[in-house]
């Protein structure tokens, strides 16, 4: 087993299923303190589910998740909420509060958790919004934002409490190349300057390669491959090669499990 002081998060022999669908079978992941760890995998493998397990919005069927060597399954609600304050999470779709302005969305955790004076809150919020390039949108409502803008606001909100661990679920989707570059650098810079640990779910192989220290490729409920970007590029595994180079044919099927195509088109599966 790896050195626990070095790993901020450890996932051990994790099983999780939704109904009959087995999502994880014996998953093991180590996330090193201060690293940017990327999680990749085909759509629907359970990356979002993994993030929800790590933050204990979902409870695993079997196995343990340790954060700072504490099994999060043993925490009561109060301790869990205290732990969650250390997380900043960027949801896949932003999850901004629809009846608050952009400014109030970013200010929300501060207003709920602190008694800071308004002047200070204003200062902090505007700084974070500036970092994602949306200081000018402070008075807009979430409904008026584009998808990419909403995600950047959500990023500002995830950072506002100065978390130890930042979790990004698909932060690069729907960003133009310029914002993408800015956000990639922002992820890296925050990680290094503030000593944050970052977990990054993404499909963008190039961006991941440029920003991550360690990458996990998840497939079929297990870690299919892991290592630094260069290690992954150089592995011989068919699966890794397929994923890294975006080929339709290979060990990972492009199709969700389905009846035989020809049979179904000819309607034979209905007759029976």
Ligand X SMILES: Nc1ncnc2c1ncn2[C@@H]1O[C@H](COP(=O)(O)OP(=O)(O)OP(=O)(O)O)[C@@H](O)[C@H]1O
- Residues forming the site for ligand X (CB under 6 A): 18, 23, 41, 43-49, 92
Q: Is 144 in the site for other proteins (CB under 8 A)?
A: no
Q: Which of 18, 62, 82, 185 binds other proteins (CB under 8 A)?
A: 82
Closest CA to 6 of 68, 53, 88, 66: 68
DSSP 124-158: HHHHHHHHTT-GGGTTS-GGGS-HHHHHHHHHHHH
- Binding pattern for the stretch 44-63 against other proteins, x by CB under 8 A and - elsewhere: --------x--x-x------
Q: Sign (positive/negative) of CA torsion 244, 247, 249, 253?
A: positive
What does DSSP say about strands 197-201 and 165-169: parallel, antiparallel, or unpaired? Answer: parallel
Min CB(170)–ligand X separation in Å: 6
Q: Which of 75, 95, 173, 182 binds other proteins (CB under 8 A)?
A: 95
Rounded Cα distance between 102 and 96, Å, is: 8
CB-wise, 103 or 243, nearer to other proteins?
A: 103
CB-wise, 15 or 104, nearer to ligand X?
A: 15
Min CB(92)–Mg ion separation in Å: 5
Q: Is 235 in the site for Mg ion (CB under 5 A)?
A: no
Min CB(173)–ligand X separation in Å: 9
Min CB(163)–other proteins separation in Å: 10
For the chain, give the longest Cα–Cα distance. 71
Min CB(177)–Mg ion separation in Å: 22
Rounded Cα distance between 26 and 267, Å, is: 38
Tokens 């979002």 map to which residue?
A: 48
Q: Is 121 in the site for other proteins (CB under 8 A)?
A: no
Stretch that binds other proteins, among 95-103, 183-191, 224-232, 243-251 (CB under 8 A): 95-103
Instruction: Give the contacts of 66 (CB within 8 A, at least 6 positions apart).
Output: 4, 7, 9, 10, 12, 72
The full length of the chain comes to 272
Q: Is 91 in the site for other proteins (CB under 8 A)?
A: yes
Q: Is 159 in the site for other proteins (CB under 8 A)?
A: no
Cα-based angle 142, 147, 149 (whole degrees, multiple of 5) = 70
Rounded Cα distance between 91 and 158, Å, is: 9
Residues in contact with other proteins, total (CB under 8 A)?
Answer: 22
- Helix, strand, or coil (residue 33): coil
- Using CB distances below 5 to 8 A depending on partner kind, what does residue 46 bind out of Mg ion, other proteins, ligand X, none? ligand X
Q: Is 48 in the site for Mg ion (CB under 5 A)?
A: yes
Please say whether the beta carbons of 29 and 53 come within 8 A: no
Q: Is 113 in the site for other proteins (CB under 8 A)?
A: yes
The token duo for 168 is: 């990004």
Q: Contact positions toward other proteins, by CB under 8 A? A: 52, 55, 57, 81-82, 84-85, 87, 89, 91-93, 95-98, 108-109, 112-113, 157, 161
């Amino acid at each position: 087993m790896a050195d626990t002081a070095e790993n901020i998060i450890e996932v051990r022999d994790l099983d999780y299923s939704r109904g009959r669908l087995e999502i994880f079978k014996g998953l093991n992941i180590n996330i090193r303190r201060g690293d940017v760890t990327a999680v990749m995998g085909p759509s629907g493998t359970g990356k979002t589910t993994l993030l929800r397990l790590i933050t204990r919005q979902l409870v695993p069927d079997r196995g343990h998740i340790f954060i700072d060597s504490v099994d999060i399954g043993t925490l009561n609600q109060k301790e869990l909420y205290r732990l969650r304050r250390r997380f900043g999470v960027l949801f896949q779709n932003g999850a901004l509060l629809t009846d608050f302005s952009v400014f109030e969305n970013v200010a929300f955790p501060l207003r709920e958790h602190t008694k800071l004076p308004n002047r200070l809150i204003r200062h902090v919020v505007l700084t974070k919004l500036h970092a994602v390039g949306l200081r000018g949108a402070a008075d807009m409502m979430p409904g008026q934002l584009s998808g990419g803008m909403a995600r950047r606001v959500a990023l500002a909100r995830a950072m506002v409490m100065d978390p130890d661990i930042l979790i990004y679920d698909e932060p690069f989707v729907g960003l133009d190349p310029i914002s993408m570059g800015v956000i990639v650098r922002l992820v890296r810079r925050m990680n290094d300057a503030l000593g944050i640990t970052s977990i990054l779910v993404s499909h963008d192989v190039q961006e991941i390669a440029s920003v991550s220290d360690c990458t996990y490729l998840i497939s079929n409920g297990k870690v299919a491959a892991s290592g630094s970007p260069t290690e992954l590029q150089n592995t011989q595994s068919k699966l890794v090669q397929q994923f890294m180079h975006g080929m339709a044919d290979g060990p990972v099927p492009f199709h969700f499990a389905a009846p035989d195509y020809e049979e179904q088109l000819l309607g034979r599966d209905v007759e029976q």
